[in-house]
Structure 1
């Protein structure tokens, strides 16, 4: 292939009623990035094309766009790779998703800044600086917990493809929550409770739908989805009774008493009578479709050999203090050697024992 088509989202609010696409034909050059292609189209064919850029080294995050439907950094992705991946001769470039375009590929960033302000994404020390004038110190082991999250460059690629944010604009979003985790988990920081209050306000942390799109799109391996899970676990460990924590407790009791979950009584147990009334229309539709066992309204039946499940539960409770498997550590084990500092114990070898 000697040439390819670069199809660019165009919108100038001073003269355009609606956005449109304009296509430019460019030569395929080895090593050319999508950002370089945008420059070539701008310099040689249409100087009115507008887009953001800065470092050209996948560090600043300025050039985040959607390329053939998925958010990424324009300076990081090569043209030949995209053409081969999608088996096409056309590369379509849009602004990232869930944003308001200002001009062409430039989008409004105020919404990002406003969301970030809510969680105060800066270091708030819990004690005065060291008396010897040196920096705040941290054990390498403790730094492993925030190492990957510290690599966030605020490119908003994860925010672009977040399905929960698309449904609810008040949701903080994976980038903001990941940044909240980075500071809440920092052993040197003194505002953990304040940050947890911010992410738990109005059930915000619970809006994640676990689609993994944020982690899939992140160009820096920050693990935004995993950081959301870590925040939930941290909140539970700090004693916050979040909807997720209550949900898990109801699950545990149902399995212990019946061997299976009673989904019909779950809303009432978790949200009270008002919650059950709110979800009544959905419950009625389930009844019509034959998805509801009426016996569940009265507690439901118990599984056969329930005593075996209860024995397993009792044994697990006995081992609870002896074996502690920490999900934040397990989910971070992939990146534990990123900085080549003191190695964390491998949970697969120790069985989670601390």
Structure 2
């Protein structure tokens, strides 16, 4: 293939009523990135194409855009790789998702800044600076808990493909939650309470739908989805009664008392009578589809051999005092920083237990 087609999203609010796409034919060159292709099209065919860029080294995050439907950094991906991956001769570039387009591939960043301000994404020390004038010290393991989250370059690729943010524009989003985690998990920081309140406000941590698109699209391996889960665990350990924590407690009680989850009474037990009324239409649909066991309205039945389940539960509760679950590497997710000589323990092998 000697040439390829670069299909660019175009929109100028000063003269266009609707966005459109314009295609430019360019030569295929070894090592050419999507950003380099945009420059080639701009310099040789259409000087009106508008896009953001800065470092051209996958550090600043300015050139994030959707390329063939998925958010990434235009300076990081190469044309030949994309043509081979998608088995096509066309590369389509658009602004990232969940944003307001200002012009062509340039989008409004004010909404991102406003969301970030709510979690104060900067270091606020809990102690005065060391008297000897050195930097704030931290144990290497404590730093391992935050080093991957510190790699976030605010490119918003994770925000682009976040399904929860598409449904609820007030949702803080994975990038903001990752920044909150980076400082809440920092042993040197002193504003954990205020940041916890920000991420827990308006059920923010509960809006995540676990699609993992944010982690899949992150060009810096920041693990946005995993950071949301870590924040949930840390909030529970800090004593915050989140909806997720309440849900887990009800689930635990049901399994111990009857061996089954009582889904019909769950909304009322978790959210009260108003919550049950709000979810009534959905409950009625479940009834009409035969998905409801009417006995659950009266407490439901117990499974056979419930005493065995209870015995397992009691042993597990006893072991809970002996086993320490370390939250930085839950779910077997491993992040090895190749820049460090001392590798982080492989929690996929140990199960995260000490």
Band the TM-score falls in, shorter-chain normalisation: over 0.9
Corresponding residue for 1:319? 319
How far does the alpha carbon of each residue in 1:82-134 deviate from its partner, in whole angstroms, 9 at most, with x for none? 11111111000000000000000000000000000000000000000000011
> Is 2:4 the partner of 1:4?
yes
- Cα distance change of structure 1 residues 114 and 97 upon mapping to structure 2, 3 Å threshold: same
Question: TM-score scaled by structure 2?
Answer: 0.97
Query: Shift of the alpha carbon at 1:318?
Result: 1.0
Q: Structure 1 length as normaliser, TM-score? A: 0.97
Structure 2 Cα separation of the partners of residues 216 and 67 of structure 1? 14
Partner-residue secondary structure (3-state), 2:145: helix
1:334 is paired with a residue of what secondary structure?
Answer: coil
In structure 1, C-alpha distance between the alignment counterparts of 2:42 and 2:293, rounded to whole Å: 63
Alignment partners' CA distance in 1, 2:337 and 2:47: 45
Partner SS for 1:16? coil
Give the aligned partner of residue 165 of structure 1.
165
- 1:274 counterpart = 2:274: yes
Q: Bigger shift: 94-103 or 295-304? A: 295-304
- Residues 242-272 of structure 1: per-residue CA shift (max 9 Å, x gap): 0000000011011111111111110011001
Alignment partners' CA distance in 2, 1:264 and 1:338: 49
What are the Cα deviations for residues 152-206 of structure 1, in whole angstroms up to 9, with x where unaligned? 0000000000000000000000000000000010001000111001111111111
**How far apart are 1:303 and its partner, in Å?**
1.2
CA drift at 1:207: 0.7
Q: Tell me which residue corresponds to 2:15.
A: 15
Gap change, CA 1:40 and 1:344, over 3 Å in 2:
closer
**Within 5 Å, which residues of 2 pair with 1:306-345?**
306-331=306-331, 334-340=334-340, 342-345=342-345
| 2:332–2:352 Cα contact (<8 Å) kept | no
- Unpaired runs of 5+ residues, structure 1, are none
Asked whether the 8 Å contact 2:329–2:352 carries over to 1, the reply is: no
2: distance between equivalents of 1:344 and 1:98? Answer: 35
Stretch moving more, 321-330 or 309-318? 321-330
Aligned residue for 1:308, secondary structure, equals helix
Q: In 2 relative to 1, CA 352–83 (structure 1 residues): closer, same or farther, beyond 3 Å?
A: closer
The structural deviation recorded for 1:341 is 5.1
The structure-2 alpha-carbon separation of the partners of 1:339 and 1:207, relative to structure 1 and needing over 3 Å to count, comes to same
Give the corresponding residue for 1:296. 296
Q: Which residue of 2 aligns with 1:247?
A: 247
Give the corresponding residue for 2:110.
110
**Do the aligned residues in 2 keep the contact of 1:322 with 1:353 (CA within 8 Å)?**
no
What is the rounded CA distance, in whole Å, between the counterparts of 1:60 and 1:77 in structure 2? 15
Q: What residue in structure 2 maps to residue 262 of structure 1?
A: 262
CA–CA distance in 2 between the matches of 1:245 and 1:65? 36
Distance (whole Å) between structure 2 residues aligned to residue 174 and residue 352 of structure 1: 24
Cα displacement (A) at 1:27:
0.7
Aligned length: 354
Provide structure 2 residue ranges, at least 5 long, that are not aligned to the other structure.
none
RMSD: 1.3
Moved more, 15-24 or 344-353: 344-353
Deviation at 1:340, TM superposition (A): 2.2
Q: Kindly state the Cα deviation for residue 353 of structure 1 after the two structures are TM-superposed.
A: 4.3
Residues 323 and 95 of structure 1, relative CA distance in 2, 3 Å threshold = same
Structure 1's 301 and 169: CA in aligned 2 closer, same or farther, altered over 3 A? Answer: same
Deviation of the 1:30 alpha carbon: 0.7
Q: 1:352 to 1:142 in 2, by over 3 A?
A: same
